[in-house]
Amino acid sequence: MNKEKTFVMIKPDGVKKGLVGEIISRFEKKGLALLELRLLNLSREEAEELYRVHEGKPFFEPLVEYVTSGPVVVMVLEGEGAVKVVRSIVGATNPQDALPGTIRGDFALTIEENIVHASDSVESYERESSIFFSD
């Protein structure tokens, strides 16, 4: 099997709505192991590094401003096919396209405040998690 790690961040809207426990529970109930967990306020530099793949796009600056506007929870999860499994639990980036039963389908209304960020590949996990966790 393909045991791998992935990075997830519960964004300020998820923390503000009190969804941290619910979100972590969904991952754990699926069988993913929670390896690292931190509650923090992102610096502008951390936010820019996390979202650097979107630098230059029109939504980059509002996204950086948003994710630095309040506390977030960052975590590392591990399990079989963790990247794909987490992304299916999280749902489509745009909550209007996210299926009911997914985190975004159940709790988010807009793409600007879509509750969570999840790595889209093992390579992204390695880059993103290194911003917040040391090996």
CATH of the domain at 125: 3.30.70.141
- Any idea which residue has 């306020």 for tokens? 41
Q: Is the pLDDT of residue 135 over 90?
A: no
Reduced to 3 states (helix: H, G, I; strand: E, B; else coil), residue 100 is coil
Residue 1: C-alpha distances to residues 7, 34, 80, 81, 126 (Å): 20, 19, 6, 8, 20
Per the structure, the complete domain to which residue 7 belongs is given by 3-132
Question: pLDDT (tens digit, 9 = 90+) per residue, 77-128?
Answer: 999 999 999 999 999 999 999 999 999 999 999 999 999 999 999 999 999 9
pLDDT at position 2:
80
Q: Is the pLDDT of residue 1 over 90?
A: no
Instruction: Confirm whether pTM is higher than 0.85.
Output: yes
12, 72 in Cβ contact below 8 A? yes
The one-letter amino acid at 107: F
Question: pLDDT (tens digit, 9 = 90+) per residue, 30-71?
Answer: 999 999 999 999 999 999 999 999 999 999 999 999 999 999
87, 121 in Cβ contact below 8 A? no
Across the range 16-40, mean pLDDT stands at 98
Catalytic residues: 117
pLDDT at position 134:
87
List the Cα angle 73/7/17 in 5-degree steps. Answer: 30
Domain count for the chain: 1
108, 92 in Cβ contact below 8 A? no
State the first-to-last Cα distance of the chain, in angstroms, to the nearest integer.
23
